[in-house]
Structure 1
Amino acid sequence: METLAIPAAYGWLIAAAVLLGLEAFGAPGIGFLFAGLAAFVTGVLLWLNIIGPEDWFAQAGIFFFLTVGFAALLWRKLKQWRLNPENEEYHNMVGDMATVSGSGLRKGAVGQVSWSGTSMHAMLAEDAAVEELMEGTVVTITAVKGNRLIVKP
């Protein structure tokens, strides 16, 4: 019985890594962070044999309730931190160049740009002279608002 605990724990820890990776690199803001944290805690509980490896119902229940719990505890704090205009941690980006990626940028819509090898959310500045920019266009970062870059051609 003991030999099943480690593979089951590894499964949850791998799921945690995948979910946290999705939050970091794929689709931030959807809630993968909370599910990733819950999967990590579930994996640790299995690793410590607090949950039995054959008790999938308990594992799923703990994962679900931890996901909801992490979301309830962290959602507002993270949202305030992300949208806080006082957070000038990344304002050293202003003036740097980025390249439009994905399907381009349209005024009023969130798109993607590549800056320093990282894909980031971006919006076209309201006072930009154009309405749309195609993929591959080089832009200048004019501001950082929360987790979005404001860019101009």
Structure 2
Amino acid sequence: MINILEKLNAILWGAPSLILLTGTGLFLTFVLKGMQFTKLIHAFKLAFVPNKKEAESEGDISNFKALMTSLAGMIGNGNIAGVATAVTLGGPGAIFWMWVVGLLGMTTKYAEALLAMKFRVQNDKGEYSSGPMYYIEKGLGHRFKFLAIAFAIFGAFA
């Protein structure tokens, strides 16, 4: 049983995952024309320079508050401990590869957020719900509803 789990672990967290995730980042970087580099200054302006034209209405938050909320949801103990573990096990060269993968991961995160906004659902109270479960089902069609359900179940256990 342990041997099977070790093989499954090697498949899930080995070269196939590395190629899939990095390849997706490279593909999206190409398709989006290097947006994480070309739009970086614009993104900083949106996040940190207040826009006087847009007055906040009820239920709206500033760009900075939205950024901080998003970062709070993404950054956890694993990100902090992961850096320390990578540097300890891989040496200082691990920092370079974390930057490379991080830059490629920006486009993946952008695509995820874009899909979440495009396929969000509004309930009776006027609140929005969104996420991978929604854009898998609504973007890929009802034939893939099983995949959306599986994602939600595995996400609950993660």
**What is the TM-score of this pair, normalised by structure 1?**
0.27
Q: Which has the higher strand share?
A: 1
- Structure showing the higher helix proportion among its residues: 2
Which structure's CA Rg is the greater one?
1
